[in-house]
Amino acid sequence: MSTKLPNIYNYLAVLSFLDDGQIHVRIPDFPNVFIQEKKEENVLYKDAEQALALHIFTLESLNEPLPVPTSLKDLSLEENEVPILLRINMAIARSKIKQASVKKTLTIPKWLNDAAEQENINFSLVLQNALKEQLHPDDPSSYN
């Protein structure tokens, strides 16, 4: 009997601001997940979320246990470091990683269908792009 996996994980990450403008991101509970880039903090946050989600997915796939999240009070920081909370929505991450597709049936006006077919427009791609633009699926907080 399979165990249902949690959809949300919360882990602390640490941003280290270096003198050369680089920002390192480390996740104390996952020492193998490390990001080092010269990017804006919000972009780096997304990169850290994606890297951690992929790592968690791998551990889940191997039926490996995940570490208990470190408490903020147990975290030791240097002067140039700031803690952040990574909230990983694994329901979204698993779907993205697995690239599962579902068939949808929809109704559009005939003239619109004819015009799109004449231009060889990929209906599926257009719908996907429109939904992504509308929903912002890279922002897990919008699904809570």
CATH number at residue 71: 3.30.160.250
Q: Looking at the predicted structure, is the pLDDT value of residue 47 above 70?
A: yes
* 70 and 111 belong to one structural domain: no
Dist CA 108 CA 18 (whole Å)? 54
Band of pLDDT at residue 43, cut at 50, 70 and 90: low
Q: What is the pLDDT of residue 128?
A: 82
pLDDT confidence tier of residue 41, bands split at 50, 70 and 90? low
140 and 80 in a common domain: no
Residues 5 and 45 in one domain: yes
- Cβ neighbours for 59, distance < 8 A, ≥ 6 positions apart: 65, 66
Distance, first Cα to last Cα, the chain: 28
What is the per-residue pLDDT for 10? Answer: 97
Q: Are residues 73 and 92 in the same domain?
A: yes
Whether residue 36 is found in the same domain as residue 71: yes
pLDDT at 37: 74
Instruction: Estimate the crossing angle of helix 41-61 against helix 90-98, to 10 degrees.
Output: 70
Instruction: Give all strands (DSSP E) within 52-108, no chain letters.
Output: 81-89
* Sign of the alpha-carbon torsion through 52, 57, 59, 64: positive
Give me the percent of the chain exceeding a pLDDT of 70. Answer: 87
Report how far Cα 18 is from the mean position of its chain's Cα atoms: 25
Give the residue numbers spanning the domain of 123: 101-144
Closest CA to 89 of 49, 58, 47, 30: 49
Residues 76 and 11 both lie in one domain: yes
Indicate if 110 and 93 belong to the same structural domain: no
Beta pairing, strands 23-26 & 81-89: unpaired
Average pLDDT estimate for 2-19: 89
* pTM, full prediction: 0.65
Number of domains the chain contains: 2
Checking if the pLDDT of 143 tops 50, the result is no
105 and 133 together in one domain: yes
Residues 95, 141, single domain; the answer is no
Task: Please check whether residues 110 and 79 belong to one and the same domain.
Answer: no
In terms of domains, do 91 and 131 share one? Answer: no
**What integer pLDDT is reported at residue 137 of this predicted model?**
61
Tens of pLDDT, residues 72-128: 999 999 999 999 999 999 998 998 888 767 778 889 899 998 998 888 888 888 888
pLDDT of the residue at 142 = 47
